[in-house]
Amino acid sequence: YEDLPHSGNYSRRLSFRQSLQASIGSPLGTLVAAGADLPFAWIPRPKLSVEALDEPFDDRFDRLWERVKRDYTAITLRDAATLNWRYRAHPDTRYSALVIPDGDEVRGYLVFSIYRHGPRLRAGIVDLLARPDDKRAIDDLLAAALRAARKEGADRMGCFVTGTDIEGAVRR
């Protein structure tokens, strides 16, 4: 095996609430977390319009795939049929999708899930697609996902990334 350059697992804490409730009890843990979580409350607001996608992936995602697939050295198929099979028809996991609409097109999307890790709620980004050089779209999708996961009660969000553009955005 060889290390993949510019790749790795990343995790960002969103709250201390669950950890503090488990260690010092629910009422006191909630109170202490209100202060301890203040630094995490500041997650930048997306500058672009980022919307939740509640319906199936459609032909806009086929066109996005066709526009960006050559920008990546190695990438798996991400057309609408594959996205619907992977994220909408999954029997065990509920996925949330965020999208940046751009007229009749899509500028980018991000898919994440909220899951239990022992007694805690965690979030995991499982897919993100935009032009690799579209830093604004990538940053705004990540910010919107962090805000949504925190709102749903996740204490941490993780992802595995490859590529310098997305790795740089995750580290910001």
Residue 130: strand, helix, or coil: strand
> Is the pLDDT at 170 greater than 80, yes or no?
no
Tokens of 95: 């996925």
- Give φ, ψ of 121 to 5 degrees: -95, 130
Per-residue pLDDT reduced to its tens digit, 92-138: 999 999 999 999 999 999 999 999 988 889 999 999 999 999 999 99
pLDDT at position 35: 84
